[in-house]
Amino acid sequence: MDIVIVKAKLVEQTWSNPLLLSLLVLFLNLFLNFIKRSKLKLPPSPPKLPIIGNLHQIGTLPHRSFRTLSTKYGPLMLLHIGHTPTLVVSSAELAEEMVRNHDIVFSNRPITTPVKILLYGCKDFGYAPYSEYWRQARKICVLHLLSLKRVQSFQFVREEEVLTLINKIRGRCLDASPINMTEMLLGTSHNIISRCVIGLKGDEEGGSGARFGEVTRRFMHQISEFNVGDMFPSLGWLDVLSGFIGRLKETAKEMDEFLDKVIEEHMALKSYDEKDFVHILLQLQSDGMLGTDHSGPLQSYFGGHVRGRNRKCGNSNRMDNG
């Protein structure tokens, strides 16, 4: 009888002690993962630490770390980035085999927290999972946005921006001023894309172009920014406390408001001499070639912010009645 009472008290203390309970859950998780992995035929993997996995083996230059590890564990190895299993391919032959013969299996991209918030749950062309929706969006992009004729129609934009770049470099040389080629080349590339997509330069002083440039640069930084929740799902609440989730939502809201204005301005134009991507996509939707379920191409070129799912139908009706 005394033994039963002692056992009952030990069980009660275990469940009432948060530390012991956490250790018990951690042990069970590790044990179940070990059993699961033993039944799977997985690629070679370096020894990992609890919780952080192989993060400690990846330095500030990941490609060099991967190369060093591949010399020991082979061209196909499995790393655990936190709780995220990651397959690292260090062989050109294996990479070709994957993208050529097993393209569908490896076609989907990881769905991260920034992607879900900034791209409306991966509805854009770049991150949408392989499906009928993705195939239709790709078809629209290839036939109407990336065809040889369409690319050639924007040749004047590329020529003007390259000439502007050359003049800037010449001016800096005459003034004997330092030149940041990285910044200049990125600015030129951004201006070309901005003019082709929305008809505005991203580096113009003030106005919509400057705002577009600022928001898209912030968007590109945030979509690849490290966050705790993707590496350690159980600690995702830290992203809320740190303000990371709030910053993502603020960027999405600002981009959405800006693109609402851009589309309204394009819809208000009755005639135009030079077509950008917005004009082309609005025309496709007006012709019935771009339904409400295939607005992905428009999102792709805008970074995925044009419309939330709950607003697509309303805007489509406005386009049809415009």
pLDDT in tens, 229-275: 888 888 889 999 999 999 999 999 988 888 888 888 888 876 666 67
Tokens, residue 219 = 């968007």
Q: What is the mean pLDDT of residues 163-171?
A: 93
Answer whether residue 29 is part of any domain. Answer: no
What percent of the chain is modeled with pLDDT above 90?
Answer: 17
Average pLDDT of the segment spanning 20-36: 64
**Residue 6 forms part of a structural domain:** no
Indicate the pTM of the whole model: 0.69
Q: Please give the residue range of the domain that contains residue 99.
A: 40-106
Task: Confirm whether 214 is domain-assigned.
Answer: yes
Instruction: Looking at the structure, tell me whether residues 47 and 100 fall in a common domain.
Output: yes
User: Within a domain: residue 118?
Assistant: no
- 250 alpha carbon, distance to own chain's centre: 16
- State residue 89 phi and psi, 5-degree precision: -110, 120
Q: Is residue 112 part of a domain?
A: no
* Tens digit of each residue's pLDDT (9 = 90 or more) over 197-231: 888 776 665 556 667 778 888 888 898 888 888 88
- 77 within 8 A of 45, measured Cβ to Cβ: yes
Residue 114, token pair as written in the block = 């920034």
